[in-house]
Chains A and B, each alone.
Chain A
Amino acid sequence: MTNLVAINYGAHKHLKIDTAKTQEHSATQNMLPVVVAEFSQVSVQHPIVLAKSGETGEFTLTALLGFEQHENLFSKDGQWQGVYIPLQLQRQPFFVGDIQTEVAGDYAVCINLDSPSIVRDLAQNNVNDIQILFTESGEDSDYFVKMKQCLGYLLQGEIENKALIDTLLALNLVQPLSLDVTFCNKQSSRLNGLYTVSEEKVAALDPEQIGRLHKAQQLKPIYTMINSLGQLYPLIERKNQQLVSVND
């Protein structure tokens, strides 16, 4: 559930967030949107692929977390199992709101009041995980400052993501990724609707095109995406381990 409201000191000065529970948001997601700026960290953990938005059909950059529709192999008992936490998960339960503010280009920071991380009864929570938004003097808390930074990276990331996707499409480098995986229990899974960067087509670009990609700082993310497909094997292994432990 989402119940988004813009944050203001008056209404939210007593609000407490249990950071141990923010990761429950991804428990049933098999994909998590990522931004170019975090490719290096994400790519040592997840395949980074392209998928299409169901709403607009436009390409998005996303980390693959599982093989079935609601399978997140990086989530166990509501806890994130990876070393790196993608920005989309770090920023929970905060959002950048579409709410109109008076200053153009300014955005409202919103919070999802239905998030499981909103503390309702302190007795239910581990006190070490609790964070507040505002100090007693009304300043943003260190935690809240960090969350706002996180949202800032994501906003900036949208622009970089779009530029990279536009480049990939303009150079005709995107190709469908068809995945047929058979797991240790002989059960197989087919993933449709995913796309990746064609290594052959990148290799066939002329030096001038490569030069332009390099200048635009897009060459590295392109190769990072290609290399990240190697993370499919650890992901399959994760699934196999899960299947084995279920059978034990």
Chain B
Amino acid sequence: MTSKPEMTAADIASAVAGRRMSALDATEAALARIKQHDGILNSFTDVTAERARAKARAVDADIAAGKDVGPLAGVPFAVKNLFDVAGLPTRAGSKINRDLAPAKRDATLIERMEAAGAVLVGALNMGEYAYDFTGENVHDGPSRNPHDTTRMTGGSSGGSGSAVGGALVPIALGSDTNGSIRVPSSFCGIFGLKPTYGRLSRARSFPFVVSLDHLGPFARSATDLALAYDVMQGEDADDAACTTTRGLEPTLPLLANPVSDLRIAIAGGHFQNNVFPEAVEAVSRVAKALGATRVVDVPEAARARAAAYVITTTEGASLHLDRLRKRANDFDPAVRDRLIAGAMVPAPMVDRAQKFRRWYRAQLAEIFRSVDVLLAPATPCTAPKLGQVNFNLDGVELPVRANIGIHTQPISFIGLPVVAVPVPLEPLPIGVQIIAAPWREDIALRVAYALEKMGVAAAPAPRGL
């Protein structure tokens, strides 16, 4: 049996565990697709072919010996290049970090994926230091949208969106500080999970804004998302924010449970403003399929977005202050100038943003007393053209970069779990956020799975290749 691009991770793992396909064949097929298409997509910055082959052979040997190989046996995956990969400097999309010593040990999430039988095939392009919503990178070139290679992938996990959207690998990992999993999921037409803040370990990944940073998976189906998410759960002393109280809460066994008992509402106010008709249509299709008619206003969401912006720019500036002093000319100039400005924001304003965060969290906690799921656009538009500076909305010219994340930022600001589901509109897909209460990833994944089964959410075959 030969691995085909349309095979999900669940398909591959089943075929490998059932000895209908070897892990090595699945790995070689992914490496061949990368070789064939990545010249255009530019999603990979490192292909770890020899490591991947060695791991695949080890999985095959374990199967031959009758050992348990885990639920992701032989599944190729790749990671945003801010994850430590043993033997590579963790560049985090930058030029500066290429001078770092190679990482000695893989990131925790890579270790957990490989412990479940998955096979790492490489590291993926990203916006510099994750301060990006476009997927463009001045050092490595832009990752390209698999449905139209003249368009953005979205960022900052652009390579993750492109690699999964282009079906080079069935699963990728990325990070999301303000929307960097949900935005590329939307533009590239794939499923993405940003878990609850503190759910998945960030150990041995390069940080951006520690009080907002999350890691999570991308996939072409809700089942694959749940598969990857479940094997990555668990406490980790190497990440100070990683939960020590929740334990393992597998979602896969709950995925096919009915959603008819869930109280699902549409997020109103800010989430219905500044959106293109495509985003309205996508939310409408999802709401209709789920029978959701109630609209719930999320109070002060625009202010929450502003507070997230302030915390991001100042914490980011603090992280990079020394590099800005010593190697300013080695930054992407656009990132450098944002970070320098961030260093100049007065401290009381940052403190007030953090205090507002607690107030806003309490408002959402109140909403989740009477609602299980909120629906909102993942992006206000489908993928813009590479290099596009402005878009025209209702006759008003708005900057693209500043507006891509306006609907994701107020959600990650308070760490809520979200699955971005792809709605396959023509000519380009767009995502909808399925937002649940803290620690209820199971509910968001269940709704994503139901939408997929109804045919409302689907990862379209890459049309730009």
Q: Do A and B come from one complex?
A: no
